[in-house]
């Protein structure tokens, strides 16, 4: 059975990247002249991957809570590539804070720029934060949901990694509500490796944190809300090493 899962996971990965190439090419003329075309391409790709994950891997997706449709900051737990797709598929005009290296990724980088993603250099600390805030201010002209990962990278289930202040500074700068998002996707689709596991992965859009809190208080509440719910989802998924 494990060998079959490995084979199916490998085939799934192959078709997933092939689909990225095909859809990127098919939607290119529309995306070139209209940002709506870029959003349509990205949403189509997300739906395809979610569909094929269910068919090929037995990996189902459950979205809980209320995905935002207005201008908000979405601060999400990040465990794997799959949670990016599920979150983006659930909101109408998502744009991500992304590491700068991804701008050079074929197709992904070009479409990310087209939908208004903001690229940051994670190695320059203060300078990176200043540039991120400036880039976010410029991108505010295009309404949407700004998605940031407060821990700055993928974090495997059960691992502890501090929350960075960048999400708090954007919350303060934009004056918009923040929607925390918890997940257990890393149990089924790990940070590294090919093997994918069957089951039901959950992305949970939690109650909003309204604007106006001091940054320190906001960060404490954000971490509490995301980590508490994510750990509960890990336990629900059968992960035994989750923090209490």
Residues in the chain: 244
| 61: its two tokens | 């997706």
**192 burial type by CB count under 10 A (0-12 exposed, 13-18 middle, 19+ buried):** exposed
Q: According to the model, what pLDDT value does residue 127 have?
A: 61
Mutual angle of helices 35-52 and 2-33, in 10-degree steps: 170
Tokens found for residue 207:
């109650």
Report the predicted TM-score, pTM, of the whole model to 2 decimal places. 0.92
Residue spans of alpha helices (H) in 34-165 = 35-52, 81-90, 108-114, 126-139
Strand order through the sheet with 178-183: 59-65, 199-205, 178-183, 72-76, 145-148, 94-99, 118-120
Go through 216-228 and write b for each residue having 16 or more CB atoms within 10 A of its CB, e for each that does not. Answer: eebbeebbebbbe
Give 207-214 contacts, CB < 8 A, sequence gap 24+.
207/65, 207/180, 208/68, 208/72, 208/177, 208/178, 208/179, 209/171, 209/177, 209/178, 209/179, 209/180, 210/177, 211/171, 211/174, 211/175, 211/176, 211/177, 211/178, 213/171
63 is written with which tokens? 């979205």
**Is the Cα torsion angle 133, 139, 140, 141 positive or negative in sign?**
positive
Q: For the chain, how big is the Rg over CA atoms in Å? A: 18
Closest Cα partner for 188 from 2, 12, 60?
60
* Dihedrals phi, psi of 53, to nearest 5 degrees: -65, -40
Q: What is the pLDDT of residue 99?
A: 85
pLDDT at residue 106, as a whole number: 86
Q: What is the pLDDT of residue 189?
A: 95
The number of CA neighbours under 13 Å toward the Cβ of 21 is 6
Backbone angle region of 199, left / alpha / beta, with phi > 0 → left and psi within -120 to 50 → alpha: left
DSSP string, 213-224: --HHHHHHHHHH
With H, G, I as helix, E, B as strand and everything else as coil, classify residue 30. Answer: helix
Specify whether the CB–CB gap between 44 and 28 falls below 8 A: no
Each of the 244 residues of the chain gets a pLDDT tens digit; together they read: 788 999 999 999 999 999 999 999 999 999 999 999 999 999 999 999 999 999 999 999 999 999 999 999 999 999 999 999 999 999 999 999 988 888 888 888 899 999 989 888 766 666 666 667 676 766 666 788 999 999 989 999 989 999 999 899 999 988 999 999 999 999 999 988 899 999 999 999 999 999 999 999 999 999 999 999 999 999 999 897 644 4
**What was the pLDDT predicted at 215?**
95
So what's the pLDDT on residue 242?
45
What does the pLDDT read at residue 98? Answer: 87
């Amino acid at each position: 059975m494990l060998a079959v899962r490995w084979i199916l996971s490998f085939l799934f990965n192959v078709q997933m990247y092939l689909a990225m190439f095909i859809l990127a090419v098919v939607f290119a003329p529309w995306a070139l002249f209209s940002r709506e075309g870029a959003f349509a391409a990205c949403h189509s790709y997300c739906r395809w991957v979610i569909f094929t994950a269910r068919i090929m891997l037995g990996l189902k997706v459950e979205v809980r809570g209320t995905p935002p449709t207005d201008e908000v900051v979405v601060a999400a737990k990040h465990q794997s590539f799959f949670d990016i797709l599920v979150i983006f598929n659930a909101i109408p005009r998502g744009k991500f804070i992304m590491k700068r290296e991804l701008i050079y990724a074929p197709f992904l980088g070009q479409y990310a720029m087209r939908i208004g993603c903001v690229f940051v250099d994670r190695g320059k600390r203060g300078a990176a934060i200043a540039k991120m805030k400036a880039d976010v201010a410029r991108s505010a002209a295009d309404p949407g949901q700004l998605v940031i990962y407060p821990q700055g990278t993928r974090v495997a289930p059960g691992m502890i990694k501090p929350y960075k202040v960048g999400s708090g500074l954007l919350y303060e700068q934009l004056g918009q509500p923040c929607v925390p998002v918890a997940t257990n996707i890393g149990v089924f689709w790990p940070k590294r490796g090919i093997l994918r596991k069957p089951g039901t992965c959950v992305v949970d859009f939690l109650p909003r944190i309204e604007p106006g809190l001091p940054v320190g208080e906001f960060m404490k509440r954000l971490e509490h809300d995301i980590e508490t719910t994510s750990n509960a989802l890990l336990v629900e998924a059968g992960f035994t090493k989750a923090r209490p």
